[in-house]
């Protein structure tokens, strides 16, 4: 699996940071520049109709059948926890909702999402409680570096530039994936998209590294360019697809999948994921906590809790089969 992702990455352009991760993944996924999805997520209100399953930043949030998975402490891993953190007893993680399904708020204002579930489970293995801390995206990594929070968990792409100052425990490989309306008669082919209208979240990889270069290539070949509808948030880009303003949506793969899941059958995924890159939890460079958390993450993989947590959020592609720090195996 790791080899296949390495091959995918070698074909891709370098991803910007979530301030191009969210304003690149701003996953519906300002990181892949600030990938922060403000307002709703994919569920989608139009003047002509309302989706009953509308997903907003103020919603029940968790998918049907979701249950909280918090493993019991593993003594040998718990014994490795740095003393100051063990005495405090609470693992803190900075997050910048909304960025569903990775992090967003439910109707009571609690931060939920797949990253929150994963870090909470890791904390359980280490014998710790978990406390997510809402922060502006631009402040999360400085807070990790300053030690005011333990982890950055907000859709961070693990890349070489960030590794100069942080270590990352990778938890998922994501890439660009397109979606179309399910009632479309002619299937969309991202490799033959000249003349189409494509909705994207502004300054994400889907826009900067995928759709705009494709459009430029169309022009170079004497074909019609792609009409690019750039939106501030991924939910508004998905809305454009549902309302028929766009032929396709291009977004990070978990975000496209989340949109399809919450669209009541109006959106479907087309084609494979590409431009793959890892999302990771950020730790201070050479922190004593990093190998402990990586061991806890490996325990989640070994027990199947990792796979179960992601499956609850509809994520079934890009999973790891072993824990990685900066894309390198623990041993």
Q: What CATH number does the domain containing 135 carry?
A: 3.40.190.10
- Quick one: pLDDT at residue 316? 86
- Quick one: pLDDT at residue 60? 52
- Quick one: pLDDT at residue 66? 95
201 and 97 assigned to the same domain = no
- Quick one: pLDDT at residue 132? 98
**Helix (H) and strand (E) counts in the chain:** 12, 16
Q: What is the CA radius of gyration of the chain?
A: 19
Q: Output the pTM of the full model.
A: 0.73
30 and 120 assigned to the same domain = yes
Distance CA 17, CA 323 (A): 22
* β 151-157/55-56 pair status: unpaired
Nearest-5° Cα angle at 37, 33 to 38 = 125
141 and 11 assigned to the same domain = yes
120 and 240 assigned to the same domain = no
Distance CA 48, CA 214 (A): 32
Residue in 100, 62, 110 with CA at minimum distance from that of residue 256: 100
26 and 148 assigned to the same domain = yes
41 and 128 assigned to the same domain = yes
229 and 171 assigned to the same domain = no
Structural domain harbouring 264 = 176-275
Distance CA 259, CA 148 (A): 34
80 and 216 assigned to the same domain = no
Tokens at 91, concatenated: 């693992």
Element (H, E) at 166: strand 166-181
Q: Which residues of 197-210 are buried (b: 16+ CB within 10 A; e: fewer)?
A: bbbbbbbbbbbbbb
Q: Residue 10 burial (CB < 10 Å; 0-12/13-18/19+)?
A: exposed
199 and 154 assigned to the same domain = no
150 and 251 assigned to the same domain = no
Of 256, 275, 294, the residue that ends a domain is 275
Distance CA 23, CA 35 (A): 6
Distance CA 239, CA 63 (A): 20
Mean pLDDT per block of 10 residues along the chain (331 residues) reads: 42 39 40 35 34 39 91 98 98 90 91 97 98 94 97 91 96 94 94 97 85 98 98 86 96 88 92 90 97 98 98 91 95 72
- Quick one: pLDDT at residue 14? 34
Q: Structural domain tally of the chain?
A: 2
228 and 284 assigned to the same domain = no
C-beta of residue 30 within 8 angstroms of C-beta of residue 22: yes
Of 237, 255, 275, the residue that ends a domain is 275
Query: Within a 10 A sphere around the Cβ of 12, how many other Cβ atoms?
Result: 16
302 and 198 assigned to the same domain = no
């Amino acid at each position: 699996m790791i080899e296949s992702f390495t091959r995918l990455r070698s074909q891709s352009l370098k991803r910007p940071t979530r301030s191009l991760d969210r304003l690149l993944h701003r996953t519906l996924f300002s990181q892949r520049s600030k990938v922060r999805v403000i307002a709703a997520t994919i569920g989608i209100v139009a003047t002509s109709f309302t989706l009953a399953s509308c997903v907003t930043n103020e919603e029940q949030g968790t998918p049907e059948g979701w249950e909280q998975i918090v493993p019991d402490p593993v003594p040998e891993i718990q014994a490795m926890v740095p003393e100051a953190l063990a005495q405090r007893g609470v693992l803190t993680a900075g997050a910048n909702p909304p960025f569903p399904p990775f992090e967003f708020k439910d109707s009571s204002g609690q931060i939920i999402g797949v990253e929150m579930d994963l870090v909470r489970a890791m904390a359980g293995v280490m014998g710790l409680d978990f406390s997510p801390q809402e922060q502006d995206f631009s402040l999360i990594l400085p807070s990790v570096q300053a030690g005011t929070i333990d982890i950055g968990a907000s859709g961070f792409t693990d890349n070489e530039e960030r590794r100069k100052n942080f270590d990352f425990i990778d938890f998922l490989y994501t890439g660009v994936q397109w979606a179309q309306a399910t009632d479309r008669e002619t299937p969309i082919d991202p490799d033959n998209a000249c003349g189409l209208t494509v909705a994207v979240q502004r300054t994400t990889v889907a826009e900067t590294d995928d759709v705009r270069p494709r459009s430029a290539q169309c022009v170079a070949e004497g074909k019609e360019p792609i009409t690019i509808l750039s939106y501030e948030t991924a939910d508004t880009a998905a809305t454009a697809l549902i309302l028929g303003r766009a032929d396709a949506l291009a977004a990070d793969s978990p975000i496209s999948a989340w949109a399809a899941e919450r669209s009541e059958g109006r959106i479907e995924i087309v084609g494979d994921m590409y431009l793959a890159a890892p999302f990771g939890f950020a730790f201070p460079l050479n922190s004593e906590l990093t190998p402990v958390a990586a061991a806890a993450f490996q325990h989640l993989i070994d027990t199947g809790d990792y796979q179960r947590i992601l499956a609850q959020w509809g994520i079934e592609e890009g999973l790891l089969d072993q824990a990685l720090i900066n894309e390198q195996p623990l041993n």
